[in-house]
Each structure stands twice: as structure tokens, then as C-alpha cells.
Structure 1
């Protein structure tokens, strides 16, 4: 939910810039058509967060999955799986998300984990081009190779992006010496209260598609292939992207009704991507160069309190006009905010407005790439309040970029009266794979066992 890079924070013990590698974003197919004192918070009432994470996995799944468009609605559209970069980072943001985190099972050894990553590579490549999971079709004595719910659907520009958490690089699998230098638990950040059971993890999978059933199918099948090797830790479904990552995309609105992410990094700008997103030659671990760091954060919006606030105050919170999306100092959405403008001796864009605190001009040029989605977990059974908000995802070349921003936002952002950070994660996402490569050899090196 940030205008230029989005706030989000990180719970205590959990994990934090330089030249750049090769420039450019991974190629993507053309987008498929989408289906079309006392604070205000205390005055309006607060809501509990105990149930905000509990239903994250599949609680909202039924409603979300039912809205996808089907194969007959559009020509198949695919994003290449192989390339210098993992797809799903610089790819123009798709409409839907399924994100899952896993822990390696206690009985899993290095060889078993490597074997699974090879299997995952083949399955992900097949699913992103619209094929079923590879296997032995027609064997009636064994479970099907593919669960089947995506049969007949277009891929919807499906991308599958994997990442590795700090906890994977311990003594279990001989990976300690291959840990990316900035992959460390993030420090405790202001105003966060994260549920440890719904945060972090050894590995993560981000599946994005214009069809929610296709995205869910991808994660479901990777989870199925991982039986006995990985244990699911947490999962989230996103039903509406909250930022644009390409000039060709319109800026969407978040659940507060505001255009969000207008000033996000343009992923077609190779120089900006190299400067802020891609890990470069400054990284001692050569295998992760060309990748990025992923920070996720589940940010609950206190929607009942927000919906009772005045329009004028809502606009002061964001620093934008709600109808047009323009900064309060401009007329059109993409007008550059004037942070010096005053009226009656006070700033037109308030000192604690979200747009001001998140702006790269006010953070020594610091930027991150946002790819967040709205989410809902239904209704709080105790209060009757809506459970929903932003599942924030951002990519950056160093997690310190996020930490620096969140320390400012967490302390001063007027928006804090209406949001709560309830879970999060940090993962290193490696570069892309060339044809014939797999995630096992990339992670472990040439000797995987």
C-alpha cells in the first residue's frame, strides 16, 4: 500500500546497494485481456487481528477462484520460463496471485531436496506454457500426474517464481557457505506485530496469472510434488493487483479506494532496475547475481474505521485526490507531487501523508519494486468486521532498502491509524534458468548431492 514503494514491516527475529549485473527485464508475452491526543482509530473503534491470519490459506479461496476467465475468452498467452531473470519480477503484473511458503521436513536430506527442485523445475516449465505436470499419463494404478483443474484454461501469462529464506542456509544441507550476503533475518520494525506461524519459511513460491484457478493450480501441484519433502507453512491468495509495473498498465485501486503505486518503478527502465532491483557484482555469491530479494508483508486494513472517515481526511492521509488519483498539488494522477507547496502556511501534502513519506525524493532516491495484491479472509467471527487488506510484495537488490523505508513509514505515516502488519517474509530469488538448467544445480552448485 505505498504510493512509491509501499510500506510494510517485519517482525523481530526474521531477516535486510552497488553496481548492477546485466540490464533489462525478462521478456513477457502481450497481456491477455483481463476480466473486465485521541486518534481517529480509537474514536472509530479498533478491531482484533487474531483471526486475520488464521484463514489466510484457503478461507477466501472459493470466492476468489470463482472469478477467473476461461480459455474461450482469450487467445493463450504465455511468459517464457527460461531466461536471464526469473519471470514474475519484471513481468507486467498479472491480475491474480497464489503465494505459499514451505519448510523442509525434518526427514529430508540434501539429495531429496535437490531431487525435488529438479522435479519442480520441470513441472513449473510445463505449467507456464499451459501443459500438464510431466509424468506417466494413463497409469490407472497411480494418482494422476496433474490434479486437472487447469485443463482447458489458458495459462493467463502464468509465472512461477521461487525464493529461499534465511533459514534454508543453515547446517542441514551444506548451504551455509552459499548464503547470499544480505539474506539475514530482518530487524524488528516500528508498529509491527507479526504472527510467526504465518511468516517466513525455508522456501517460497509466487504464482501469478490472469486466471486465479491457474495460479492456484500451480502452487497446488508443486505442493503435491513436495509431499514428504516440504511442509506447507502459510499461503495467501491475492485477487486484485495493487500496482502497475509497466507503462502500458493502468494504476489499480486498493481496498481503501485509492490509486496505489502510481510512482512504482517502471520495469522497462533497465537502468532503474539495475540500480534498485537486480543483485549485482557487489554480491560475493556469484550464483545469486541477477536475482533479487523479495519482501512480503500481509497488511490488514481496518476498513470499518476507514469507511467512517471523512473524504477530506482520507485524502490527507494519502496525499492524493481520491477520485482522480492526482497528488493534492496536481490535476492528473501522474503529475509530480510538489512537496514544497503550502496553503495558509501549511503543506498542501501534509508532513505525515503517505505519498510524502514514501516518495523517493524524500528518501535519498531509495526505491523498491512493488507487486502487491489485495486479499480478503472473510469476516472476523468475534467482531463481525471485514478481514482484508494488502498482501504486499516488493523486490529490491538489498533488504536494507525496505528496512530504511519502513522505519520512516512505521513511525510517521498517518496511514498507520488504519493498518496493521500481521505477517511477513524475506526470501532471496535467484536469477533465471537457461534451457537445461534446474533449480537444484543453481542452488547447490554443480554438485547437488
Structure 2
């Protein structure tokens, strides 16, 4: 990234986080500006060109945007009770995000004439391009009223009805240290260092006002919003996300992803709801399972990715040709009253668990217009009878209301909520 608002130099070669791909269960159209704005609805063009994703627009980028290769997701706890301080932070974060997503350094950059003071930017992305970086913010239930029932910022009455406390699902083994949060920021990029740099700088700017509650690195996108692209494979070796909502399907996005002014609070119109779930996979058990059982578990052919009873990956599934416990059958909209969600999940590997088993799985990210007729009914169906449950466990969970996009340089993340 450059210190000045010019074209970033060529990126250097980097070693990534390593990886494979993974998907499972159910995963913005960027905005309207050329540098810090411009037309970004054509997500396929953005992905192919490698250009910076526009920051300004009706919806936040990083939702319907063509899915990038890497993720750094962070949930924050707010450590101040001062409303004015929080608003000032959101304004500063917005300004920094607008610069970083276009390949520019934060503030005065990583190198300045004042050697006695810390630089404005941490500097590890110097010389790197924007790498299609997107930064997407969300607000958790505890922003509106904390666990003690305190309305710290005078917005308790503005909490959306759909921003519910997610119900407990059978088989959940949730770690409180990897769940919830007052705020979240999803950083997606094609370069892992660019994504990490973005979260690091926001955390640095917020020091004394926010603290990272938990975070997750991800690699190997597990779903695609560009249906003409090759479908990613998950760490179990299966294609998943074949039927994901396309980033160019305006009608489906309006129906299933974006909050309308009629169905939700006015401040959230054009936004969405994000479910984040850390799903641990029992890799070693899966690797000793026969191919036939693996295919029966998913309801798909492992090689081609075709639904059972069909020949090609994108053939319309014959749900009756699958076992009643098949993952695809249970997750299909026809089995859930037409419920659809937009997935943006990533694989993760976080070393071993101390018993020699790989701590790996899916970091599941799903956007929808209302979790009550999106994630919740689908997950209830999966949690009860999905054959995949033998090989996975949900260990972290969070829900966030994702505000609409930032319209211009005078706007900021969450402005309508605090106005």
C-alpha cells in the first residue's frame, strides 16, 4: 500500500497461510465510485481485473462482492461508555477503511518526518496492492444493551427485532471466548497480509475504546458469489456452494439478503444480518470413512460434484434420490420453505488440540435479510438429522446487524443508527 493517494506499486510475493478449501452448510455488492467510489455492481469484472473494490455505495462491500481468497475476521468489545467517543471511533474507522480498501496507507502513512512519534500506519502492507480488500462492519446485540442490561449509548430502543439471541441448537458446544461481540469487522482480500494489516490498524486506532474479543483467520474460500467460476471444495474434498446466491442476481439479493425499509428499522435499510459460526471438523474420523458413506452424507458425487441421481454439478437436485439425512437435501430451500442465505465461509486450521488432532474446520459466514426465516430454520433442520453432524461441531457463534453502505466521504459506518 502507498502512503500517498496514488497508484500502489506491484505487490511482492508472499507466502500465504497455507491451505485447502472447505465448505458446509449455508455463506456487498460494492458501491459506486471509481477510486473511493464508482460502479462496483459488476463483481465478476472486479474479481477478474484485480482492481480495488469501491468502498462507497448503497450496500457494504464484502457481502455480494466476488469472494476473495483470504479472511481476517475480528469481533470487538467496546471498552468505553461514552457515546461521543464511540461515534468518533466509527468515523475514524470509516476514514481508515476507505483508504485501505483503495491500497492507501492510514493517515500520514507508515513513514513520516516525525521520527519521535509512532506512525499512523503499521507499515506491513507497504508495497502491496489493495488485493480486492473489503471491510464490512456489523453491530452485535450487546451494542444496544450489554449483558448487564445497560443501555450505554442510548440506542436500546433501536435494536432490530431480527437481531435476536440465537437459540441453542442440538449438538452445539459453544465457547464463550469465541462467541458474540459488540462489533465485528470482516476483512477479505486476495493477500493475507493485506487483510491482517487492515484489522491490525483498526484495532490500533481503537485502542482504549475497543478491544478484540476474538478473531479468526481463514483461507480457501468455501463458497462463491460468481456462479460461472469453479466451485470451491471443502476440506472434506466435496464441492459446496453450487447453489449460492450470485452477486449479480439483484432480485435474489433484494428478496433474501438486503433488509428493506418495510421489513426492518429505517437505519438498517440496505443492510443485512450476518451469522458467524466456527465449525470444528473431525478430520481424522472423516478420513477413515468410506467413499460411499461420504457421498451419502453430502448427497453429492465427490468427483464431479453432481447431486446424487444426476450427472452434472449444476443439475437440479433430485432430493428423493438422496438419503433423508443427506446434507444437501436438508439444506435445500425446498426442504426449508424456500429459505435462502448468502454464504461467504472460509476454511481454517489453528494448529492441533493438544491430542494430536487437527484443529480445523469451517468459519461459516452467512448473510440474510432476517435470520428468523433464514439461518435459524435451516440450522434447526440440520442440527436434528444431518448425517454430517457425526463429523462436525459448532464451537463458536455470533450474530450481527450489518448497516448499509457508506454513501460518500461525509458519511460513516452506522451514521443512521446514531442520528
TM-score by length of structure 1 reads 0.81
For the pair 1:155 / 2:135, whether they are aligned, the reply is: no
Q: CA deviation digits over 1:26-82, x for unaligned, max 9?
A: 45473456xxxxxxxxxxxxxxxxxxxxxxxxxxxxxxxxxxxxxxxxx76111000
Give the deviation of 1:138 after TM superposition: 2.6
Moved more, 197-206 or 169-178: 169-178
Give the 3-state SS of the residue equivalent to 1:30 in structure 2: helix
- Paired residues of 2:81 and 2:152 also in contact (CA < 8 A): no
In the other structure, the counterpart of 1:441 is 415
Q: Give the root-mean-square deviation of aligned CA atoms.
A: 1.7
In the other structure, the counterpart of 2:194 is 214
Distance in 2 (CA, whole Å) between partners of 1:271 and 1:237 is 32
Give the deviation of 1:178 after TM superposition: 1.8
- Paired residues of 2:325 and 2:387 also in contact (CA < 8 A): yes
Matches within 5 A, 1:80-99: 80-99=54-73
For the pair 1:276 / 2:256, whether they are aligned, the reply is: yes
Distance in 2 (CA, whole Å) between partners of 1:29 and 1:287 is 29
Q: CA deviation digits over 1:2-36, x for unaligned, max 9?
A: 66727xxxxxxxxxxxxxxxxx9845473456xxx
Give the deviation of 1:301 after TM superposition: 0.5
Give the deviation of 1:249 after TM superposition: 2.1
TM-score by length of structure 2 reads 0.87
Distance in 1 (CA, whole Å) between partners of 2:171 and 2:25 is 20
Distance in 1 (CA, whole Å) between partners of 2:293 and 2:54 is 45
Distance in 2 (CA, whole Å) between partners of 1:153 and 1:2 is 29
Matches within 5 A, 1:38-437: 77-105=51-79, 107-135=80-108, 137-170=112-145, 171-340=151-320, 348-381=321-354, 383-400=355-372, 401-435=374-408, 436-437=410-411
Give the 3-state SS of the residue equivalent to 2:231 in structure 1: coil
Moved more, 355-364 or 297-306: 355-364
Give the 3-state SS of the residue equivalent to 1:439 in structure 2: coil
Q: CA deviation digits over 1:257-304, x for unaligned, max 9?
A: 100111111221111111111101333520101100000000011000
In the other structure, the counterpart of 1:36 is none
Distance in 2 (CA, whole Å) between partners of 1:369 and 1:284 is 19
Distance in 2 (CA, whole Å) between partners of 1:225 and 1:292 is 26
Q: How many residues align?
A: 378
Distance in 1 (CA, whole Å) between partners of 2:256 and 2:40 is 13
In the other structure, the counterpart of 2:11 is none
Correspondent of 1:30 among 38, 45, 48: 45
Give the deviation of 1:440 after TM superposition: 5.0
1:330–1:3 Cα change, 3 Å: farther
Give the deviation of 1:176 after TM superposition: 1.1
Distance in 1 (CA, whole Å) between partners of 2:279 and 2:25 is 16
- Paired residues of 1:32 and 1:210 also in contact (CA < 8 A): no
Distance in 2 (CA, whole Å) between partners of 1:264 and 1:296 is 17
Give the deviation of 1:256 after TM superposition: 0.5
Give the 3-state SS of the residue equivalent to 2:212 in structure 1: strand
- Paired residues of 2:52 and 2:132 also in contact (CA < 8 A): yes
Structure 1: 5+ residue runs without aligned partners? 7-23, 34-74, 341-347
In the other structure, the counterpart of 1:56 is none
Distance in 2 (CA, whole Å) between partners of 1:280 and 1:384 is 48
1:147–1:76 Cα change, 3 Å: farther
- Paired residues of 1:279 and 1:398 also in contact (CA < 8 A): yes
Q: CA deviation digits over 1:96-117, x for unaligned, max 9?
A: 0000000100x44111111110
**Could you say which structure has the greater relative contact order, defined with CA pairs below 8 angstroms and 6 or more residues apart?**
1
1:2–1:211 Cα change, 3 Å: closer
